[in-house]
Amino acid sequence: MSARRWWRAAVVAGACCTSIGGRAAGAGDPPARLYGTDRALWLVHRGGDIDPTSKLPVVRLLTTDRIDKTSGIQLWRELPSLVGALENAAAKSDGMILAFADGSLTQVTLRGATPVARLPAHLAVMALCGDVIQSQAAALVHRMPDLLPRASAAASAPIDIQSEYGLITLKDGAWRRLAAVPREIAAHEDISMIGRDGRLLLWWIEPDEATDDSDEGRAAATPPASQSGRAVDPWRRVQAVEWSESHWSDVATVWRGAGLTHVWMDWEGARPVAVAAEAMESSGWRLRLLARDGEKWNDLGLLQEAAGGIVAADAAWSAVTTRGLWAFARPTKDGQVQVGVSEIGSDPRIRWSAASSRPQSTPTPWTAWVSTLAICAMLAFLITLRPERLSTPPRLPPDLVPAMPARRVAATLLDLIPAVLATAYWWGPLLKEWLSGATRPALEDVTGSTQFLRHTQQAWLLCLAVFALYCLLWELLMHTTPGKYLFGMRVLPEEGGKLTAGQFVIRNGMRVAELLDPFVATCSLFVMLVLSQRRQRIGDLLARTMVVGPAPLVPGGPPRGPTAPPGRGPDESADQPPRGGAA
């Protein structure tokens, strides 16, 4: 191979090893890097531990969808670790895709890790990004037959990218050609890439030679004098080009300045935004927020700490956007990672929180406190002021007893079936989404306020409302439900007399609260199993009703007496007149 070809191979190899994830240009690999979409954030730790068997680095993965501009980022979930020398990574709407040095690729979701088709042996990855077209990943590759050989037995079939550089996309488990990339765009030592909705944005940092004769060009070519006496940083500029609808735009200058060292880019909706790192005279970098409006990039100001002062960053930082926020990751002195958020444009202050996989304490909503206090007050009233309602055994005919809790639970499950079927249109897509693992929330995040969980709670509330209405109609007509009827149970008034429509409304309305709130459900079971001699739930206590069933037969015991028909009290048999009537 000629000297020129060797030099070209070395340049591309350096680009392959320094462009991780297609999210940043101008720096090395931080030990913990942040990736994200509008659905979730991913934190990738690499190189901290070595696998004793393979002697390869261990890659730790954490993810969260608890993202809020006020409380920050909380409740990270740690996924099973992977082993390998990680080269590239990118976040997608349904997970992450990781590229390793041996040519293997792995897709990670909350359901686990699955292998992805290897790249063809003649292609070397320079940058990687996700969600180019829907949730498809894309790679910027270089055709180098003699560079970075792969295991041909496991590699995909060759792809003709029709040029020295090209874009390929992962579709239906196979890599396919997307577009050719002009050499003047791709042949840079450090290039990065992001994609969304059929658009790709590539950018890099290069020396600013100020070739134009304008006042702006002459001013850019003259660095400011250093007041500290140290060497003046050279002027550099960020160049970007966009691919959309099979066409490449002209190369445009995003930002230029002295000491420009590092640039992160990402999307805010349909517009690209950026963070430019500029070397400060003392130490560290100051971070400048940028956003594109049409064809012009605007300066949104410097990133600041919430307590005041300009943020001082370094090469160990990483940044992405999520849900209209910038998210930053930085290591701490004790080896941990902090993640901070800052609004894009409106408030450039950053708020930090620890990236821990342990659940963090979050404030309880005021509605939960109100419901808890209301239930506690009601139970205290029943126990202290009306203890006879809990301790007095019911007066029932010999053939009736308070229904067993196990039978009542079984009857409730049977009566839930029609409500579940009637609301399948609303919870069916959620179940499909859960089983696919696309947005499955963390196990520790069951009570979180994510979009998926909010939709699930709404579907469950609708199901309970249909269930309560179903039971109300049956009990108004028959004093029982199909589930209760199968177990020989029915509803009777607590102190005799006839049941009213109001009693049925109260006891069935409480079904929604008892099955919706875990605390209320626990209290209701405690009252039924421990406190009440009549095995009444909270809805029964409020409605002054009880559920009865047939008494168990005792061998050699007396025969059962007549059973009170529906609507009569527990102490009124069929041959007795109602209370207050003539004998």
Task: Give the mean model confidence (pLDDT) for residues 71-79.
Answer: 77
Beta strands in 37-184 (DSSP E): 41-50, 57-64, 66-68, 72-74, 77-83, 86-92, 95-100, 105-109, 112-116, 123-129, 138-143, 165-171, 174-181
Confidence check: pLDDT of 416 > 60:
yes
pTM here is 0.58
Partners of 194 in beta bridges: 201
CA angle 349, 353, 357 (to 5 degrees): 150
Alpha carbon 334 to its chain centroid, in Å, reads 28
Sign of the Cα torsion 115, 195, 156, 56 reads: negative
Reported as a pLDDT band with limits 50, 70 and 90, residue 233 is low
- CA–CA distance, 346 with 567 (Å, rounded to integer): 66
Q: What is the DSSP string of 302-326?
A: E-EETTSSB--B-TT-EEEEETTEE
pLDDT of residue 397: 85
214-223 contact pairs (CB < 8 A, 24+):
220/256, 223/258
Q: Which CATH superfamily is domain 3-208+236-354 in?
A: Kelch-type beta propeller (2.120.10.80)
Residues 254-261, mean pLDDT to the nearest whole number: 89
The mean pLDDT value of the chain amounts to 77
If DSSP codes are grouped into helix, strand and coil, which group holds residue 33?
strand
Count of Cβ atoms closer than 10 Å to residue 406 Cβ: 9
pLDDT of 366 reads: 56
476 has pLDDT over 90: yes
* Residue reference for tokens 């063809």: 120
Across 251-255, 257-261, 308-312, 438-442, least confident range: 438-442
Domains of the chain, by residue range, sit at 3-208+236-354, 366-550
> What is the rounded distance in angstroms from the CA atom of residue 453 to the CA atom of residue 430?
9
